[in-house]
A and B are shown apart, each in its own frame.
Chain A
Amino acid sequence: MHYAELFCQSNFSFLQGASHPEELILRACELGYRALAITDECSVAGVVKAYTVIKEHKLPIKLIVGSYLKVDNGLSLVALCNNRNAYAELCRIITNARRRAEKNHYTLTQWDIASLKHCLLIWLPGHNPADKEHALWLAKYHRERLWLGVQRHLTNNESHRTAHTEQLARQHQLPLVACGGVLMHHCERLALHQVLSARRLGAQVADAGSVLPSNAERSLRSIDKLYRLFNPRWMQETLRIAERCQFDLGTLQYEYPTEVVPVGHTPMSYLRQRVTEGCGKRFGDTVPEHIRPLIDKELRLIEEMGYAHFFLTIDDIARFARSQNILYQGRGSSANSVVCYCLEITAVDPRNIQVLFERFISKERNEPPDIDVDFEHERREEVIQYIYQKYGRERAALAATVISYRFKSAVREVGKALGFSDVQLDFFIKNVNRRDQHTPWQTQLCDLGLDSDSHTGRYFFTLVETLIGFPRHLSQHVGGFVISSGPLYELVPVENAAMAERTVIQWDKDDLESLGLLKVDVLALGMLSAIRKCLDLVHNHYGKRHELYDITAHMDDPAVYRDIQNADTIGIFQIESRAQMSMLPRLKPACYYDLVIQIAIVRPGPIQGGMVHPYLKRRDGLEAVEYPSADVKTVLARTLGVPIFQEQVIQLAMLAAGFTGGEADQLRRAMASWKKTGQLLKFKDKLINGMLERGYQQEFAERLFEQICGFGEYGFPESHSASFALLAYASAWLRHYYPTAFYTALLNSQPMGFYSPSQLVQDAVRRGEEVLPVCVNHSFYHHCLEPNSTGWAIRLGLRQVKGLNQSAAAQLIAKRGAGFSQLTELKQLELGSGALEALASADALRALAGHRYQARWQLMQQQQDLVTQGKPSSQYLNELKKPTEVQNLFEDYISVGLSLSHHPIELLQSNGQLPAFTLARDLIHKHHQSLVTVIGVVTGRQSPGTATGVTFVTLEDHTGNVNVVVWAATAQAQKRAFLSSRILKINGIVEREGRVIHVIAGKLTDLSSLLSELNAPSRDFH
């Protein structure tokens, strides 16, 4: 007895299917099915997952690609792909149906179905009067490829429906075939399936009643049972159909766009030519001796793997960016190759970092080449438009990202279905700390009052747990483009994204990888915008033309490293965060590779794996550098025997635990999604046993696994760190030599980075920069440099004025000539009352209308004044009181987001409102473990995933920032002050290690009432 299931929906039929494609395949295999068709509703989003699981486990089951289609006239069909042509036409009609409807919907017409010439079709009659008409129509267009599906789900009145179907078959001479109509891999998923069905209707399970399935017969059932339910002929028919379906996803061949190769060239010959040209440009006439063989080796590998097109496609995009003067930087394993350096995809000079080339394309690891290209964040859209324009929308689309249920969404969905109120669910979600590693969320929910022993409680826990990781909808990948030579819709369905004019394919990056399809990552990076702007400012005001590659040609300037070692890094790429800053004086980066390590080490992976302290000790010579074996030495030598990078962990798994290339690849993927799927744990035994067999210590093996888990979601590859370190150096260099231009460029690239404009300006002022206020007669839209007695000052631009749009600012600048002298001139520009009000609030009208209150009083006047020029328009004008300093401060923060006058703490201190305390700059004079009182504006509360139970609070006063560590118990006991203070007084203990100073909080006192309206934004809980 054999059977092939031809109608089965996975959870990629959102809110219908209750099992992952992988689960369905594994279960069908277990039940001895010969084939399984994954037929999600108007989608093929789940098929690659099914394909991958078959390939990975070498399962003896055939995957049939198909789709369940509901036509707008009530017709329901299952379309199955018997060959490549059928697959192409299925993708085409799905694309058409999805593109003509809004996101997440589709509209399929009868004529779409009529256009199918290859697909095999199983018609599922609706058991209504329209059936006759449908039968005639279908038989007319598809007779040779048409079956009537019989479904038996043991529901009410089923015998009549079966009889009706048989009658239709006789009447229209159509063959019958058995269909499972599967929605779950196992009957135990019934509860989840009912929850999803109820939510699809927006109802609770208890209210959805008869709309829910009455039993679990829509699961994969044993073949025995199916033979008892269906006529054996119908069962045999499933096998005949399965036999006809010969399409294999693995045969999908990605064809690269041909435009990138000029006529007369092969892709490889053209790539060689481009590399030779670039080589001359990069190295001049004398290519260093050790570089030449590297280039040859890389090109050989590229040729062997057939990746020439891929490199040429990226080369083409990079060339476009250069032609448009858009700054970019490549990163990823392949990006750090000499080939990419020659093609100017990256500026990382191979002469500086030979060590990285081990990580080029790895044949053994079977990974596709990885090149992400970051562009200036404000100009990435130009690059995207170039791609669309060059390849057309038919041939270029973004990869999808599968948005899955996470804890919160799962709690909400299940909770609503079980009848919990929204308020209660909100309460649960807000009060569960997902970062608490010691208390599972189930226990936390019990603490919040959910009875785990109650009937509903038990179901709630199980259902939430199962639902986590289920796909919810498809979204667009941040910048992964798939470009093909022919229409993309013959390769994979394309649907609308949320953003207008964007389209996404139905597969995500893992799917693309599984099928060996390449994507080109076009990403956005704020720092590149800032660097580009800074380079332009330096050129315009200092007369020097620097480029990224000449700044980073040597990367050995001791002055730059001195700043970095002193943790004077506000605004510097990647090493400006609290955690990075506190590590800098310990690690003391002194060369480029130190920066590469610095960027990767302050990550949850190495921190959770306990790798940071051993590395520091070994670096300072306090601990001997040892390697458990020579193999391990080859992998870990450059990081003193401590695994820090993601690649090292994978390499260790291969070398020390004997993972094959394929297994290592699976491990890498499991790491990327382990929080989502938890699949990593299945590698644990294999890894540890593998290492023990090869003579490694249990402890070393366990620690490595810990680190793999830590790397899971936050792992950082060396190849990316190398590119980031280059930008970190470049930004540090610019900040050191051209601080005025650097801060101006940073401010002009906001929002980006870790600090707000206010914090950046505070830092600039502390470093002795002069910052001039926004002025209607001097400011341009962007912040700019203005000459002063010592050189250049930063003049704040109109872009900083909240509520003033760019066009109004442009109009104002165009019309001002030598400057306005009267408010009425400005009023006549008709910029809109909002724009003038915004300018008055920003105190930008000071030159024309006096202080803020006076300016506003004049602006408030509705009748255009007929008063002659020179006279004030109001008798009362001079009687208006002047804003106080505190009021000005509020207004500055509200309207410009920063203040150049006084810091709130400075004001409070001078008013005598504060008790005695230590200023940030004086903390350096305090002894380790001494008692201290600090007061500041709370500018950040950061609760990193790595530091359990600790929140880092940043307090700012006019002399600098104070780093405060608040332990969970302290925060718990003084919640009110901890959670809601804007100005905080902390009595605590100084903890210092070299130049790193923290205050460990003891008592927290909320002083916000002193400046209750202060509006300095605090960046909470990133």
Chain B
Amino acid sequence: MLWLYLHFPALQLDSLPATGQPRAIACNRRHVLVQINRAAQAEGLQLDMGLGLASSLCRNLEVHPYQDDFAPRRLQELAQRLYLVSADIMLFNPDGLLLKASPMLRYYHGLKHYWASLQHELLGERVQACGATDTQPLAARALARAGIECIGGDRQPPRWHALALAHSDLPGKAINQLQRIGVSNLGELVRLPLTELADRLDKTSIDYVQKLTGRKVYPTRFFTPAARFTRYRELECEADTTAPLMAPLARCLNALEDFLQTRDHVTATLTLQLLRRDRPAIHLKINAAQGERRAHTWQQLIELKLASLTLDAPVYAFRISAAQSYPRAKLVEDLFNAQTGQLERAELLSLLEAKLGPDALLQPSLNNDHRPEQRASCAGNRLTGDSGTPMQQRPSLLLDTPKATAEPLSIIHGPERITTGWWDQAPVMRDYYIARNRAGCWLWVYRPLQRSGSDRNWYIHGYFS
């Protein structure tokens, strides 16, 4: 049996748009580089180098934090893609795929064409990959992880004997023990008598040696493609407008088309989530009048949708998913059976938003701030606001714009002095009072503090009920 292992050394880095600038992915727990591009290598950076040293060697290094959940997700996507070319695929999280090559060879008339097809698919996915074949899955994996690309039939002599132990899956402790008796590569390891070795190493290591050499069968659990299409992409840099979203979106829509086509499915609704830093994500629902799978149609719809959207905070990533897909034939039936008049709240909101525009949809919220303007805000369609406890002696009706007044007032309580907010360039310097006017209205009034300028007018800022 011939196995082909694909190792992806820089999945997260590959997902970013190409650049000539030095760029690295760094582990934010250990603060070391875990993926670097060519430009960074040219600057003398190496994997596992500390972030401090790296940034002092290369001032213009662009650093992205390593995301634990990115690689497994991306691996799923790659498996999905390669599933079109190869039947039995195993996932090795977070950065490898094992393909059962032997059964496929007869469809491709040999290893050469099979490998070329795989490479073609990978090229489409824009990922760096190193492939290696061997009769044992773990041997192929060790070769690929060592960066040795060797695609050969099952009769070629094994090439993994010269590999350093570090490329194996042996536990760190065992590698250390073996190195300390002078065993430095896998060849030397398998030459040791297994019985004597079994008395000296832990079970996991012995198990590994047995599987590596084929004395024990490697258990297989093959990949089954996901039922739902979903893609997550981060932008190279945060986008203030929707234009930079279009290119990566188009690639995702192409993938969607492939996904649906292979199943002969269509979908009627796409969900697009625009993720913004420190702000809630924007959820957009894009509906097609009828089931659709063509990328360019979806792209038009999305462009239309995005055209009416103004971003009030930059977007750093998006997630696109097809909620449901169904066979093309069922489309008609679905249309007639669809129930109407039972909209979910979120659906209603998104419909209203689509109809009236996001600015028309407001929701009151209470923020954690002393400043009246900042405390009570009518933010956009924000469903998760901080609902702090209301302060005492604050009016129930607050004016958007305080109103200057010259009418005689009698002060009942006060002052409450608010001189804060230096951090966000909206400082307030006012003395607030509770006052009553001649008509008996209870008002919340303020006078700007002398320090803040010459304005000594009284302003009405709210009414008590």
Contacts and interface: CB of A to CB of B under 8 A. Distances in A.
A159 B196 CA distance: 86
B370 interface: yes
B368 A207 contact: yes
Contact of A217 (B57, B192, B414, B417): B417
Interface in A318-371: none
A881 B182 contact: yes
A211 B52 CA distance: 36
Given A210-B368, A863-B199, A975-B56, A154 B415 contact: yes
Interface of B: 28, 31, 44, 51-53, 55-57, 63, 65, 177, 180-182, 192-193, 196, 199-201, 367-370, 375, 388, 391-394, 413-420, 422-425, 431
A862 B202 CA distance: 10
Contacts of A875: 193, 196
Interface stretch (A22-30, A107-115, A853-861): A853-861
Where chain A touches its partner, the secondary structure class is helix
A887 B183 CA distance: 12
A156 B56 contact: no
Contacts of A194: 420
B56 A857 contact: no
Interface stretch (A7-15, A266-274, A308-316, A423-431): A423-431
A887 B425 CA distance: 63
B424 A215 contact: no
Interface string A422-463: 010011001100000000000000000000000110010000
Contacts of B55: 427, 430-431
A216 B418 CA distance: 9
B60 to A, nearest CB: 11
Contacts of A217: 417
A156 B57 contact: no
Contacts of B201: 860
Nearest to A852: B180
B420 A431 contact: no
B24 to A, nearest CB: 13
Given A154-B417, A194-B420, A209 B196 contact: no
A876 B196 contact: yes
Which are the 5 A-B pairs with shortest beta-carbon distances? A209-B368, A154-B417, A860-B200, A214-B370, A215-B417
A392 interface: no
B193 A459 contact: no
Contact of A861 (B199, B413, B415, B419): B199
A423 B370 contact: no
14 contacts: A154-B431, A155-B417, A160-B393, A211-B368, A216-B419, A423-B28, A423-B63, A426-B31, A426-B52, A459-B423, A857-B200, A876-B196, A880-B182, A891-B180
A155 B56 CA distance: 49
A205 interface: yes
Contacts of B418: 214-215
Contacts of A431: 55-56
Interface in A937-980: 975-976, 979-980
Given A214-B419, A459-B423, A881-B182, 18 more contacts: A154-B431, A157-B391, A157-B416, A159-B413, A160-B392, A191-B422, A194-B420, A210-B370, A217-B417, A423-B65, A426-B51, A427-B55, A852-B180, A857-B181, A862-B200, A863-B199, A880-B181, A891-B180
Nearest to B416: A156
A157 B180 contact: no
A874 interface: yes
Contacts of A156: 391-394, 416
A811 to B, nearest CB: 24
Contacts of A144: none
A860 B177 contact: yes
Contact of A209 (B53, B182, B367, B414): B367
Given A210-B388, A853-B180, A876-B192, A190 B419 contact: yes
A206 interface: yes
A210 B200 contact: no
Nearest to B278: A419
Interface string A618-645: 0000000000000000000000000000
A382 interface: no
Given A156-B392, A156-B393, A209-B369, A841 B417 contact: no
Contacts of A423: 28, 51, 63, 65
A158 B415 CA distance: 9
A775 B392 CA distance: 80
A60 interface: no
A841 B180 contact: yes
Given A215-B418, A418-B423, A862 B199 contact: yes
A444 to B, nearest CB: 13
A250 interface: no
Contacts of A853: 180-182
Given A157-B391, A431-B55, A883 B182 contact: yes
A155 B413 CA distance: 11
A975 B57 contact: yes
Contacts of B31: 426
B304 to A, nearest CB: 37
B419 A210 contact: no
A785 B423 CA distance: 68
A459 B422 contact: yes
A212 interface: yes
In the complex, which of the residues A210, A213, A876, A975 has the most CB atoms of chain B within 10 Å of its own CB atom? A210
In the complex, which of the residues A157, A190, A852, A861 has the most CB atoms of chain B within 10 Å of its own CB atom? A157
A27 to B, nearest CB: 18
Nearest to A204: B423
B434 to A, nearest CB: 9
Nearest to B423: A205
Contacts of A980: 53
Contacts of A979: 53, 56-57
Nearest to B392: A157
Contacts of A881: 182
Contacts of A876: 192-193, 196
Contacts of A862: 199-200
Interface in A163-178: none
Contacts of B416: 154-158, 214
Contact of A856 (B28, B181, B199, B391): B181
Contacts of B367: 209
A905 B418 CA distance: 71
Contacts of B417: 154-155, 214-215, 217
A981 to B, nearest CB: 12
Interface string A101-125: 0000000000000000000000000
Contacts of A852: 180
A426 B431 CA distance: 41
A194 B418 CA distance: 13
Contact of A215 (B57, B414, B420): B420
A66 B420 CA distance: 30
Contacts of B57: 975-976, 979
B196 A976 contact: no
Contacts of B415: 154
B55 to A, nearest CB: 6
Contacts of A210: 368-370, 375, 388, 391
B85 to A, nearest CB: 40
Nearest to B191: A879
Interface string A190-231: 110010000000000111111111111100000000000000
A406 to B, nearest CB: 19
Contacts of B391: 156-157, 210
A863 B201 CA distance: 11
A187 to B, nearest CB: 8
Interface in A870-888: 874-876, 880-883, 887
In the complex, which of the residues A209, A212, A423, A862 has the most CB atoms of chain B within 10 Å of its own CB atom? A209
A206 B424 contact: yes
Given A157-B392, A159-B413, A210-B368, A190 B181 contact: no
A459 B193 CA distance: 69
